[in-house]
Structures are given as C-alpha cells and as structure tokens.
C-alpha cells in the first residue's frame, strides 16, 4: 500500500526516455485512472508513470493527467479510456 492508499505497483521510473507512452501526473486519483487505462491498453511494461514535476513541466504539460506518446502530449486534463488510448495509438502509427 502506497501513499494515499494507492498501490505501489505503479512506478515512476524517473523518466524512461525510451518509453513510447508516458502518463504524467501528480499521483492523484485521475492520474492513477489514466495510468490504469494506459496499462490496460498497452501493458504495464509499455507505460512509464512520471510524477516528477520538473519532468512534467519540461514536457510542456500544464494540466494533469497527461498522456505523452513518442514525446508529444496527446491528451491533458482528461482521463481517457483504454479504447480511446488504443485509437490514439492507431492514429499515430
């Protein structure tokens, strides 16, 4: 059990630059929900969960949660469903 009753299985790798998809957020409920949807759509090994505020600001994210694909912010301030994430990935491929 982690901070605020969240599971510690969610990981902040400190910014894995090789990750194709990143969920950026402060660790709030919406951020965790987006991370869960992203891992459902892609698998946990394909998603990097970034909570470092300096990295989030560096990416140009002004509203969390944010979904970043290949270094580009594709969604901010919204919790996407797994199906919406799959659609975004398909559009970017």
**pLDDT tens digits for 6-37?**
443 444 444 444 458 999 999 999 999 999 99
**Domain limits of the chain?**
3-92
**Average pLDDT, integer, range 39-64:** 95
Could you confirm whether 28 is annotated as catalytic? yes
Q: For residue 54, how many C-alpha atoms fall within 13 Å in the half-sphere facing its CB? A: 2
Give the active site residue among 6, 28, 36, 88. Answer: 28
**pLDDT tens digits for 57-88?**
999 999 999 999 999 999 999 999 999 999 99
Q: Which fold has domain 3-92?
A: Glutaredoxin (3.40.30)
pTM, to two decimals:
0.79
Give the active site residue among 19, 21, 24, 31. Answer: 31
Q: For residue 70, how many C-alpha atoms fall within 13 Å in the half-sphere facing its CB? A: 5
Which residues lie across from 21 on neighbouring strands?
47, 69
Whole-angstrom Cα distance, residue 34 to residue 5? 17
């Amino acid at each position: 059990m982690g901070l605020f009753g969240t599971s510690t299985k969610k990981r902040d790798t400190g910014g894995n630059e090789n990750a194709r998809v990143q969920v950026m957020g402060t660790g709030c409920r919406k951020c965790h929900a987006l991370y869960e949807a992203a891992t459902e759509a892609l698998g946990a090994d394909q998603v990097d969960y970034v909570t470092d505020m300096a990295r989030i600001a560096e990416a140009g994210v002004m509203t969390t949660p944010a979904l970043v694909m290949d270094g580009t912010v594709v969604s901010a301030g919204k919790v996407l469903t797994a199906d919406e994430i799959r659609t975004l990935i398909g559009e970017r491929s």
